[in-house]
Amino acid sequence: MDLRFAAACCSRIAAGLLVLVLSGAAQSQDLRTSQVARISLTPVGGYTFGGKFRDAGGAATAETQDSPHVGLILNIRESANTQWEVFYSRQKTEADLGHSSAGNAPVDLDLQYLQIGGTYVAHGGRARPFLAATVGVTRFGPDPLTFEADNFLSFGVGAGWQLQYSERLGLRLEARLLGTFLRSDTALFCRTGPEENVCAIAADSDMYWQARTSLGLEFRF
């Protein structure tokens, strides 16, 4: 009777220790995985479409040409499904000014976005859909600086897929809509000096819209 009781007690103790060991191992694995996937850095490239300015009369006086872009996205994991996001993008393009006081020749334009926000990543296996929302600044920089540069408040919303090939490497496919807030009396591409004081565009629109598709290689740390 005593031997049976002792054996039962030993069995229960052994089972309890086994549960504790397995639980600790699982927690260690979760901690290791979360540390690996805490930060991701994604160089991206793709193509940008659209972008128009309108004058006070309502006619389109300037349109930026569709062209490639490059960028960098930093994500910091907040929870299993949410991430902080810092988004930077640069597009080399031309602004076709049409018949304006600054002349008919197109202006080389260095268009940059710097925004911060968040990303929601849905549950999934190797392919996980996501939604992103960011706010920040858009910089219109004529290149070379024939005209003055301008900065405006902007925002972006995007959606796509995160494709995970390993714990540290993956792909990011996304489409993003970018909107820039313009004042109704915005003057763009201005030249000032002792001999002339002229602006190419007197914008009468409140928003400047662009859409883009991107592909990036995601590195996780």
Q: List pLDDT tens digits, range 150-195.
A: 889 999 999 999 998 888 899 999 999 999 998 766 666 676 655 5
Mean pLDDT in residue range 64-83? 94
Beta 127-142 vs 150-164: how paired, if at all?
antiparallel
Higher pLDDT, 175 or 19: 175
pTM: 0.76
Residue 143 burial class via C-beta count within 10 angstroms: exposed 0-12, middle 13-18, buried 19 and up: middle
Cis peptide before 142 (omega within 30 of 0): no
pLDDT at 85: 97
Distance, in Å, from the CA atom of 117 to the CA atom of 48, rounded to the nearest integer, reads 21
Residue 148 half-sphere exposure toward CB, CA atoms < 13 A: 14
pLDDT bracket for residue 6 (50, 70, 90): low
pLDDT tens-place string over residues 107-149 = 788 999 999 999 999 987 889 999 999 999 999 888 666 677 8
pLDDT tens per residue, range 33-62: 444 568 999 999 999 998 887 765 555 567
Whether 18 has a pLDDT exceeding 50, the answer reads: no
The helix (H) or strand (E) run that includes residue 185 is: none
Amino acid identity at 97: L
Q: Could you read off the pLDDT of 99-109 as tens digits, one per residue?
A: 554 455 677 88
Q: Looking at residue 57, what is its pLDDT?
A: 56
